[in-house]
Chain A
Amino acid sequence: MNNSAAIEVLGLKKSFGENHAVQGVSFNVNQGEIFSLLGPNGAGKTTTISMLSCLLRPNDGDANIMGHSISTDPMGVKSVLGVVPQDLALYEDLTARENLSFWGKMYGLRGSTLKTRVDEVLNVIGLRDRANERVGKYSGGMKRRVNIGVALLHKPKVIYMDEPTVGIDPQSRRNILDSVVLLKNEGMTVLYTTHYMEEAQELSDHIGIMDHGKLIAHGTHDELVKMVGQQTRIDLTLNGNADQVMAAWKETEGVSRVTSDEGLISVLVQDSNLTLPHLFEAATKHSARITSVNISEPNLEAVFLHLTGRALRD
Chain B
Amino acid sequence: MKAFDIALKDMTRSFRSTFAVIFMFGVPLLVTGMFYFMFGNITDEGGFTLPKTQVVIANLDEGGPKFQVNPKNIPGGKEADSMGDLIVSILQSEDMADLIEITLVPSAETARTAVDNQESQVAIIIPTDFSHQFADVDGKAVIEFYQDPTLTLGPAIMRSILNRFMDGMSGVKIAVNFFVDEAEPEQLFLTGQVVDQYLEVSLAENDDPEVELLDVRNPVDGQKNDAAENQNLLLSIIGPIMGGMMVFYAYYTGTSTAQSILKEEEERTLPRLFTTPTSQATILTGKFLSVFMTVSVQIIVLLIAAHLIFGIEWGGFASVALMAIGIIVSASSFGVFVNSFLKDTKQGGVLFGGILTVTGMMGMIKIFAMNSAIANKMGDTISLLVPQGWAIRGLMQAMGGESFNNVALTVLVSFLWSAAFFAIGVWRFNRRYT
Q: Report if A263 contacts B (CB, 8 A).
A: no
Q: Report if B276 contacts A (CB, 8 A).
A: yes
Contact A102 B5 (CB under 8 A): yes
Neighbouring A residues of B9 by C-beta, 8 Å: 91, 94, 98, 102
User: A91-B9, A93-B17 are contacts. A83–B272 as well, Cβ < 8 Å?
Assistant: yes
User: A83-B272, A85-B272, A102-B5 are contacts. A108–B13 as well, Cβ < 8 Å?
Assistant: no
Q: Report if A106 contacts B (CB, 8 A).
A: yes
Contact A89 B269 (CB under 8 A): yes
Q: Report if B271 contacts A (CB, 8 A).
A: yes
A65-83 interface (Cβ within 8 A of B): 75, 78-79, 81, 83
**Contact among B2, B13, B16 with A106 in the assembled complex (CB-CB below 8 Å):** B2
What's the least CB distance linking A46 to chain B, in Å? 11
**Contact among A55, A79, A91, A107 with B274 in the assembled complex (CB-CB below 8 Å):** A55
Contact B16 A91 (CB under 8 A): no
Q: Report if A53 contacts B (CB, 8 A).
A: yes
A49-63 interface (Cβ within 8 A of B): 53-55
Neighbouring A residues of B276 by C-beta, 8 Å: 78, 103, 106-107
The interface residues of chain A, by DSSP majority, are classed as: loop
User: A55-B275, A88-B268 are contacts. A93–B16 as well, Cβ < 8 Å?
Assistant: yes
B321-337 interface (Cβ within 8 A of A): none
Q: Report if B267 contacts A (CB, 8 A).
A: yes
- The interface bits of chain B over 272-311 (1 if a CB of A lies within 8 angstroms of the residue's CB, else 0) are 1111111100000000000000000000000000000000
Cα–Cα distance between A85 and B269 once the two chains are bound (Å): 10
- The interface bits of chain B over 64-80 (1 if a CB of A lies within 8 angstroms of the residue's CB, else 0) are 00000000000000000
What's the least CB distance linking B13 to chain A, in Å? 5
Contact B275 A94 (CB under 8 A): no
Contact B5 A85 (CB under 8 A): no
Q: Report if A87 contacts B (CB, 8 A).
A: yes
Cα–Cα distance between A87 and B264 once the two chains are bound (Å): 13
Q: Report if B12 contacts A (CB, 8 A).
A: yes
Other A-B contacts than A75-B279, A106-B6, 15 sampled, CB-CB below 8 A, are A53-B275, A55-B275, A78-B275, A83-B275, A88-B268, A89-B269, A94-B9, A94-B16, A102-B9, A105-B5, A106-B5, A106-B273, A106-B276, A106-B278, A107-B277
Q: Which residues of A contact B (CB under 8 A)?
A: 53-55, 75, 78-79, 81, 83, 85, 87-94, 98, 102-103, 105-108, 150
Q: Which residues of B contact A (CB under 8 A)?
A: 2, 5-6, 9, 12-13, 16-17, 267-269, 271-279
The contact sample of 27 A-B pairs, CB cut-off 8 A, is A53-B275, A55-B271, A55-B274, A55-B275, A78-B277, A78-B278, A83-B275, A85-B268, A85-B272, A85-B275, A88-B268, A89-B267, A89-B271, A89-B272, A90-B267, A90-B269, A91-B9, A91-B13, A91-B267, A93-B16, A93-B17, A94-B9, A102-B9, A103-B272, A105-B2, A106-B6, A106-B276
